């Protein structure tokens, strides 16, 4: 049941990213919904399951991008792992902390994607525009991050709500 719900969540996210966010842009930047999910997978699911879930959603995204298959997947997995590893050191959950992690994680994912893409032979990914995209997408995801809590909780059948034990609860869910 859990894989089905998680798969459905990923599918809906990919469809929304591909269809809605090709039109709806904020200051010319498409919201990075899939990056947000990857970061939140790392945050909520921990270092064991988070990177794997992020890898899968990155792979979905790669299917639609002109960059080589696997590029987003590995970047998403690494960012999710970094978020999960750093998240373990944090003492309590708060919306502010969640927003900060989402913002920084999104920026790191955008920059990592561009840098690795350049290494793989793609051209024109690393420039000032990359910084602008990373900053705006990071801000948008920082604002949207708290909304992912109930959605992710539903996807693994855990209870929603913020609190000191929410992350461990959702992780063990």
Partner 1 sequence: MALAQRTGRVRHRLILLTLVAITLLTVDLRGFESARAAQGFVRDLLHPVNSLATTIFSPVGDIWNSLFEYDDLEAENAALQQELDAMRGAAIQAEADSSAYQQLLESLDLPYAADVATVTARVERGPVGNFASDVVTINKGHRHGLTEGMTVVTGAGLVGRVERVDGVTSTVQLLSDPGLLVGVRLVSTDDVGLGHAVPGEPGMFIINQGPNWPKITDTALLPEIGSAVVTDNDSRYTADVPIGRVVEVRPAADELALEVLVEMANDVEDLAFVSVLITEQREDPPLVDVVPSTSVPLDLDPDLLDPPEEGGAGEVNQ
List residues near partner 1 by CB under 8 A. 11, 14-24, 29-30, 32, 47-48, 51-52, 55, 59-71, 73-74, 77, 81, 110, 113-114, 117, 120-121, 123-125, 130, 133, 137
Q: Which residue number, 58 or 149, has a Cβ lying nearer to partner 1?
A: 58
Least spacing, CB of residue 38 vs partner 1, in Å: 12
Least spacing, CB of residue 117 vs partner 1, in Å: 7
Question: Does residue 114 contact residue 126 with C-beta atoms inside 8 Å?
Answer: yes
Least spacing, CB of residue 161 vs partner 1, in Å: 27
Q: Which residue number, 55 or 149, has a Cβ lying nearer to partner 1?
A: 55
Q: Which residue number, 76 or 99, has a Cβ lying nearer to partner 1?
A: 76
C-alpha span between 40 and 132 (Å, rounded): 22
What sign does the dihedral 100-45-90-163 (CA atoms) show?
Answer: positive
C-alpha span between 115 and 89 (Å, rounded): 27
Distances (CA, A) of 74 to 22, 32, 38, 58, 92: 23, 16, 11, 7, 28
Least spacing, CB of residue 33 vs partner 1, in Å: 11
Tokens of 115: 């840098």
């Amino acid at each position: 049941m859990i894989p089905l719900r998680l798969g459905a969540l990923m599918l809906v996210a990919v469809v929304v990213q591909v269809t809605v966010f090709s039109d709806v842009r904020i200051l010319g930047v498409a919201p990075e919904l899939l990056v947000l999910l990857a970061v939140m997978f790392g945050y909520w699911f921990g270092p064991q399951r988070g990177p794997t879930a992020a890898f899968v959603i990155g792979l979905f995204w790669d299917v639609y991008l002109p960059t080589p298959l696997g590029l987003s997947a590995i970047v998403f997995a690494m960012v999710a792992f970094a978020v999960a590893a750093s998240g373990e050191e944090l003492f309590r959950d708060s919306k502010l902390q969640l927003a900060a992690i989402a913002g920084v994680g999104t920026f790191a994912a955008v920059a990592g994607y561009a840098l690795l893409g350049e290494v793989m032979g793609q051209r024109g990914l690393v420039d000032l525009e990359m910084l602008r995209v990373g900053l705006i997408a990071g801000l948008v995801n920082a604002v949207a991050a708290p909304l992912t809590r109930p959605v992710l909780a539903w996807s693994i059948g855990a209870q929603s709500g913020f609190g000191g034990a929410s992350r461990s609860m959702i992780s063990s869910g």
